[in-house]
Amino acid sequence: MSVEAELQESVNYTPLQRMRHSAAHVMAEAVQEIFPEALFSIGPAIEDGFYYDFDLPRPLTPEDLPEIEQHMQKIVAAGYPFLHDRWPREKALEYFGNKGQVYKVEIIENLPDAEVGIYRQNNFLDLCRGPHVQNTSQIGPFKLMRVAGAYWRGDEHRPMLQRIYGTAWFSQEELDQYLWQLEEAQKRDHRKLGRELKLFTLSDELPAGVPMFYPRGEMLRHLMESYVRETQERYGYQHVWTSHVGKVHLYKTSKHWYTYRENMFPIMKGEQELTEDDAYILKPMNCPHHILLYKSQMHSYRELPVRYAEFATLYRYEKAGVLTGLARVRSLTQDDAHVFMRPDQIQEEFDRAVNLTLEVFETYGLTDYWIRLSLRDPQKKGEYVGSDEVWEMAEATLRGAVEGKGIRYEEGIGEAAFYGPKVDFMVRDALGREWQCSTIQLDFIQPENFELEYIGEDGQAHRPVMIHRAVTGSTERFMAMLIEHFAGAFPVWLSPVQAIIIPIADRHQEYAQSVFEQLKAVGVRAEIDMRGERMNAKIRDAQLQKFPYMLVVGDKEAAAEAVSVRLRTNIDLKSMPLTQFIERILQISNTKSKEL
What are the residue numbers of the active site?
Answer: 287, 316, 334, 336, 338, 422, 468
CA angle 588–594–596, rounded 5-degree value:
60
Q: What is the dihedral of CA 309, 315, 317, 321, to 10 degrees?
A: 80
If you ran DSSP here, which 8-state letter would residue 130 be given? -
Q: 363 and 228 in contact (C-beta within 8 Å)?
A: no
Rounded to the nearest 5°, which phi and psi values hold at 97?
-65, -45
Q: Strand runs (DSSP E) across 33-190, as ranges?
A: 39-40, 45-46, 49-55, 83-88, 115-121, 124-127, 142-151, 160-168
Q: Which residues contact 320 (CB under 8 A, 6 or more apart)?
A: 208, 209
CB 552 within 8 A of CB 504: yes
Q: Please name every residue paired with 370 in a beta bridge, in sequence order, or none if there are none.
A: 426
DSSP-assigned letters across all residues of 275-313: -TTT-EEE---SHHHHHHHHHTS--BTTTPPEEEEEEEE
Cis peptide upstream of residue 491 (ω within 30 degrees of 0):
no
DSSP code of residue 37: T
**Helix, strand, coil in percent for the chain, rounding step 5:** 40, 25, 35
Q: Could you tell me if 337 and 309 are in contact, meaning their C-beta atoms sit under 8 angstroms apart?
A: yes
Rg (alpha carbons) of the chain, rounded to whole number: 29
